[in-house]
Each structure stands twice: as C-alpha cells, then as structure tokens.
C-alpha cells in the first residue's frame, strides 16, 4: 500500500515537522533576495556594509517586538542547540568564580526529559564541578512545582526547563515555574553583581509555532528558539537574554552580537527567520485549532483501528501538533522504516537524539527503564499543510505494518 495508490497522487507524506518544518516559500524568496541585494558584511563601514547593518538592525527590532523584549536583548545564533549551550554554559561559567570565592559550589536545576542540547550542556558543567539537580516528571511528563521549590538553593545559578518536550509534546507550566523562582529570589534577597539568582531559562523551540512566546507573560530571563521548527531556514536561531544578565561567550573573535556570539551574521537566514516568525505569529490561532482537529481525528482513528496503541504525554497539557505513539511488541526502527517504505516520514523521537540502544530517555523518565512498550514508539508531528486525509492514510498504513508482522514479534 502506498500513498499514491490510495489517493492517486505520486507524493510522500511528511509527518516529522517537530524535527524540521519545510521551508516556507515566502521565506525562500526573502533569503534569495537578501543573498543578492545585501553582499556586504554588517560590520563593515562602507556603503554595502552600512546597508546590511541596517537590515540586520531592522530584523532584530522586529524579532524583539514579537517577543516583547528590547532589541539589545536578542542574540542571533546558528540554531536552538547553540542558543541552549550559550544560555546554560555561558551563564554558569560566568558566575562560577564568584560563588567559589564565597566558598559555595555552583548549583543548577533542569529536568530528566530535556532536549539533548540541554542535557549535554549540563553534563559538561558537571564535569567542570557544578552540581546539577534533575527534576523528575510524572507519567504525563510534567514536573512537580513543589519539587522545584524544594530544589532551589542559595547557590543555584540557573534553572532550565523546556517549554514543550520535543518527543511527547507535553507542555510545562513555565509561568508557574517563573513564579516559583521569583518567590525564592524575594526570600533570598541577594544578588551577584546586581543580578538576582537563579536565572530562569526555557528552550521554546517546539513552542514558538503554536504557543505564546511573549516573554513578559512567561516571566523567563532567557529563551531559546530555532528557525527550522517554524518553516524558517536551518542554521539560524535566537537567544533572548534579559538586560543586565552577564554570560560568557562560547565563540570569540570579532565581537558580533554584543560580543556574545562572534562571527559574521548570516543576514539572509536572519531575515528569513524574522519572516517565518511574523507568519507563524499571524497564523497561530487558526493553526492551533487546525492541529487540535487533526489530533482529535488521529486519536479517534487509533482508538478504533489500533486500540492497543498507547499515547504518551499529557492528556491536558499538550502541543496539539505532536503525538507520541507506542505499540507493544514492535521496535521503533521497524515502524519508521516500514512507514517510510509506504511514503510516510515519521521519527522515533527527537531528531537530535535519534534511536539509541538504551531507548528514549524521555519515556524512561515517564515509565521506567524496563517498560518494553516504549521500544516501539514513533513521533508523529503535523504541519501547516497536513490534512485529515493524510491522518487517515497514516493510521491505515500503521495498521498495515502491524498486520504484516503479526506473529513475528517479540513477546
């Protein structure tokens, strides 16, 4: 069974938008125009450089306005991973010496289900002598605010909690986390170099397309996002850093991006990123409703045709475009390959972690490392052009795979 044989169309079905969304045609036009129209380096003093610099400043101001922050608080990066690393490593490293001089061991907090870009950054800090607390989650992927509150210490420099989990789509209550941290700061009543700690960072890469990323509403001090998740270009992202917060750069050189990210700015990609942000902002309400409808259809069809399927994540606090589905007795790799043969692109989890020998760290946090049902998990993520017909074909194809291998599976 193939997509074209079922619907008479010779095309593939892309259901992996959480990994990377296809480039919007409007963004492609902006990038192409910028590549031809602005050849200068934004840091150069000649006419071409000045014009490029003005376009960069305009894009930065526009992005800042959409997040409701100051333009000076926007740092352009190569993507979500660099933004996370800069926020986490840069913040803690900047303040290690001050705490150690006071006889304190730097401490940070994150969760067990963060994106690998976050977890690997904290692993680096641990090797550098920083103590890290990893908050657990319940079976729906939500942290406990009481545990967060009890984990905060006088020497806590940074808290990093992802807005939306990239594998299961669970949405954390970032506003409540920010409230908990602000209350702790007030009780602590101290600062380092004029900044109150702990600093609160969130990775909003998966949230930017459908959820509010208004910084004043969220109450965060730092926020990361990624162009490739919103139909923007790959290789560009952003880090919001609240005014007054001092972080150490990861890249040094010419001092671009307020000396926090040296290297010639990729102006065409930044302009494309700004265009994608404007468009998803305008579409957010209608797209959210559309994704809810597709999710409801997928759940109804799965319940009807594959009742043994387990849906991972929260039943109430979820990103409607993402579904994590576990099938008992199957292997994720088999499901991904067989669906691919039927013209459907899905993933086994976060594209940055891939399929690992020990399985998903996210599902292990939810159900324990011995949960065999987690072995057969795929992530399906809808996009702007996904239709109800696509969802129906996906479920039929998944059922076809299960029927093909019935009797040949592990127990």
* Closest C-alpha among 150, 232, 246 to residue 191: 246
Question: Within a 10 A sphere around the Cβ of 58, how many other Cβ atoms?
Answer: 13
* Closest C-alpha among 384, 267, 292, 350 to residue 23: 384
Which tokens belong to 132?
A: 């890290």
C-alpha triplet 336, 339, 345: angle, nearest 5°: 75
DSSP 212: -
Which tokens belong to 138?
A: 């319940």
Which tokens belong to 365?
A: 């946090």
User: DSSP letters of 140-204?
Assistant: TS---HHHHHHH--TTEEEEE--SB-TTT-BBP-HHHHHHHHHHHHHHH--EETTEESSEEEEE-
Q: How far is Cα 243 from Cα 59, in angstroms, rounded to an integer?
A: 19
Q: Chain-centre distance of CA 225, in angstroms? A: 7
Positions of E strands within 28-106: 74-77
Q: Which residues contact 135 (CB under 8 A, 6 or more apart)?
A: 109, 110, 111, 112, 143, 144, 147, 148, 151, 161
Q: How far is Cα 80 from Cα 263, in angstroms, rounded to an integer?
A: 17
Q: Is 352 a catalytic residue?
A: yes
SS3 state of residue 51: helix
Element holding 240 (H helix, E strand): strand 237-241
Which tokens belong to 46?
A: 């000649």
Options 154, 253, 352, 354, the catalytic residue: 352
Question: What per-residue string of b and e applies to 130-164 under the rule 16 or more CB within 10 Å gives b?
Answer: bebbebebeeebbbeeeebeebbbebbbbbbbbbb
Element holding 25 (H helix, E strand): helix 25-37
Which tokens belong to 12?
A: 């593939």
Phi and psi at residue 254, to the nearest 5°: -80, -5
The residues annotated with a catalytic role in the active site are: 352
């Amino acid at each position: 069974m193939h997509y074209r044989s079922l619907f008479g169309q010779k095309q593939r079905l892309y259901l992996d938008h959480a990994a990377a969304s296809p480039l919007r045609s409007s963004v492609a036009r902006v990038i192409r125009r910028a590549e031809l129209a602005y050849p200068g380096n934004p840091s150069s003093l000649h006419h071409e450089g000045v014009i490029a610099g003005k376009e960069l400043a305009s894009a930065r101001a526009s992005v800042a306005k959409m997040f409701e922050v100051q333009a000076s608080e926007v740092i352009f990066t190569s993507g979500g991973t660099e933004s996370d690393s800069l926020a986490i490593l840069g913040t803690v490293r900047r303040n290690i010496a001050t705490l150690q001089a006071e006889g304190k061991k730097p401490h940070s907090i994150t969760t067990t289900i963060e994106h690998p870009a976050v977890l690997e950054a904290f692993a680096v800090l641990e090797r550098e002598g920083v103590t890290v607390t990893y908050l657990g989650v319940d079976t729906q992927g939500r942290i406990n605010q009481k545990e967060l509150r009890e984990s905060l210490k006088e020497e806590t420099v940074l808290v990093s909690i992802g807005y939306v989990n990239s594998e299961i789509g669970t949405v954390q209550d970032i506003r409540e986390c920010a409230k908990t941290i602000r209350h702790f700061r007030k009780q602590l009543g101290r600062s380092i170099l004029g900044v109150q700690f702990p600093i609160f960072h969130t990775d909003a890469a998966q949230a930017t397309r459908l959820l509010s990323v208004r910084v004043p509403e969220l109450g965060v001090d730092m926020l990361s996002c990624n162009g490739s998740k919103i139909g923007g270009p790959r290789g560009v992202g952003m880090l919001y850093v609240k005014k007054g917060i001092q972080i150490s750069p990861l890249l040094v050189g010419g001092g671009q991006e307020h000396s926090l990210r040296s290297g010639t700015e990729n102006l065409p990609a930044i302009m494309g990123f700004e265009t994608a942000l404007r468009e998803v902002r305008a579409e957010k309400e209608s797209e959210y409703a559309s994704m809810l409808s597709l999710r409801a259809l997928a759940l109804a069809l799965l319940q009807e045709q594959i009742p043994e399927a387990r849906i991972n994540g929260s039943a109430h606090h979820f990103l409607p475009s993402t579904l994590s589905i576990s099938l008992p007795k199957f292997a994720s790799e088999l499901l991904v390959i067989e669906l691919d043969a039927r013209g459907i692109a899905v993933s086994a989890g976060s594209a940055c972690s891939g399929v690992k020998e020990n399985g998903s760290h996210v599902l292990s946090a939810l159900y324990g490392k011995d949960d065999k049902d987690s072995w057969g998990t795929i992530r399906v993520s809808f996009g702007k052009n996904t239709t109800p017909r696509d969802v129906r074909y996906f479920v039929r194809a998944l059922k076809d795979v299960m029927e093909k291998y019935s009797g040949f599976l592990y127990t």
